[in-house]
Amino acid sequence: MSTDKDLLPVDPHNEPGHLPIADIPHTPRVTDTDPKAARRAERQVASMFLLSMVFVVLFVVAFVTIDKSAVVYIPVLGVVGASQIALGFTFGMAILLIGTGAIQWAKKLMPDVEVVQERHSMASTPKEDEEAKADYERGKEESGFARYTIIRRTLIGALALFPIPLVIMLRDLWQTPPGENPVELLSTTAWRDGLRIVPDTGETTGEFVKGIRPEDIPVGGLVSALPIDIMEIQKAEHNLNARGKAAIILVRMDPSEIRSQQGEGWDYQGILAYSKICTHVGCPIALYEHRTHHLLCPCHQSTFDLADSGDVIFGPAARRMPQLPIGVDEEGFLVAKSDFQQPVGPSFWERG
């Protein structure tokens, strides 16, 4: 560990030959010998800090005055938001100028003396070197890495190709499939009139139970659910999105506590069905506080009031949770009365 004493500046002229750095002749900077150059450097640094302040003021002006929906055309970038460009440029310049000024200050005006910090030797002893080599050779031999040529080569090939799926998946994050409209994609789900609602048991093969009866859900309870034919749809269409888009939660409350719904009579005896996918960026939600009827998204804390049409009462979500109209069939099982009446899932498409 270094001490203050270790960091004391060493004047090479006073302690010649004391440490290796003392052998390097000290070359004074222009600003050390020329007072005019020093004052010029001082003005340069001060100008950068001043300019930085100006850019902060411009940032505030741009934030207040530029319409958030205004766009500009910039070669190479294309059409971009005027506000984002102005804010990014002014804030970036403010930071850059502080950094550049600080570097200039340190290089030209701060005391220019060599500082020596003594360190203990970090080198291993010859004995430790030998032991490490022996360990490496033993590991190589025991793993068979050198002996099994085919395994070694295929492993190297597999590791070399391993990043490709990651790149492809990342590419998928910001692209809608060609020719498809995100609003249309999210506006149609597997739900339709008369389709039975079944509990989501996490099964991806096999069969669901027959359905859910209203009496299966106590007041204050929550059940994650799906359409009964979702597995056939997935198999037929090879479409995993169908399951995500159709996922719902059923909650039950005293009918007198329901303040509003997205449609007349969309509940069944106080049982309400909402999409399970957050309208912010699409996390699945099932954190329900039955006394307040609030549904809390664990990702960014958006909170929806399920007793009041699923409205957003807190957080970054911009749209309420889509509600699914429900009833019962002739056998007394809960069913959907139609598809959702608005797109489910994240609302990134609204920004377009």
> What ranges make up the beta strands (E) of 22-103?
71-74, 78-81
Closest to 225 measured CA to CA, from 241, 255, 203? 203
Write out the two tokens for 102.
Answer: 């600080």
Least CB distance to ligand FES at residue 277 (A): 9
Q: How many CB atoms lie within 10 A of CB 43?
A: 11
* Residue placing its CB nearer to ligand FES in the complex, 133 or 300: 300
Does position 319 interact with ligand FES (CB under 6 A)? The reply is no
| Member of 182, 214, 244, 316 binding ligand FES (CB under 6 A) | 316
Q: How many CB atoms lie within 10 A of CB 99?
A: 12
Tell me the DSSP string of 6-72.
Answer: TTSB--TTTSTTSSGGGGSPP---HHHH-HHHHHHHHHHHHHHHHHHHHHHHHHHHHHHHS-TT-EE
Least CB distance to ligand FES at residue 181 (A): 22
| Binding to ligand FES in span 32-71, by CB under 6 A | none
**Which amino acid type is present at position 303?**
T
* Residue placing its CB nearer to ligand FES in the complex, 116 or 281: 281
* Residue placing its CB nearer to ligand FES in the complex, 81 or 282: 282
Give how many residues touch ligand FES by CB under 6 A. 12
- Residue that is written with structure tokens 């039975």 in the block: 196
In terms of DSSP bridges, do strands 271-275 and 303-305 run parallel, antiparallel, or are they unpaired?
unpaired
Least CB distance to ligand FES at residue 346 (A): 7
Site string for ligand FES, 263-302 (x = CB under 6 A): ---------------x-xxxx-------------x-xx-x
Least CB distance to ligand FES at residue 305 (A): 15
d(CA 246, CA 347) in angstroms, rounded, equals: 16
* Residue placing its CB nearer to ligand FES in the complex, 214 or 244: 244
| Member of 86, 230, 248, 317 binding ligand FES (CB under 6 A) | 317
Least CB distance to ligand FES at residue 243 (A): 18
Does position 72 interact with ligand FES (CB under 6 A)? The reply is no
Closest to 317 measured CA to CA, from 333, 329, 304? 304
| Member of 182, 220, 221, 315 binding ligand FES (CB under 6 A) | 315
Write out the two tokens for 174.
Answer: 């910001």
* Residue placing its CB nearer to ligand FES in the complex, 148 or 314: 314
* Residue placing its CB nearer to ligand FES in the complex, 279 or 323: 279
* Rg (alpha carbons) of the chain, rounded to whole number: 34
Q: For residue 222, count CB atoms less than 10 angstroms from its CB and return exposed for 0-12, middle for 13-18, buried for 19 or more.
A: middle
What's the N-to-C CA distance of the chain in angstroms?
57
Least CB distance to ligand FES at residue 253 (A): 22
Does position 320 interact with ligand FES (CB under 6 A)? The reply is no
* Residue placing its CB nearer to ligand FES in the complex, 90 or 279: 279
- Residue that is written with structure tokens 């859900």 in the block: 217
Query: Helix (H) and strand (E) counts for the chain?
Result: 9, 13
* Residue placing its CB nearer to ligand FES in the complex, 108 or 245: 245
Give the interface with ligand FES as residue ranges (CB under 6 A): 278, 280-283, 297, 299-300, 302, 315-317
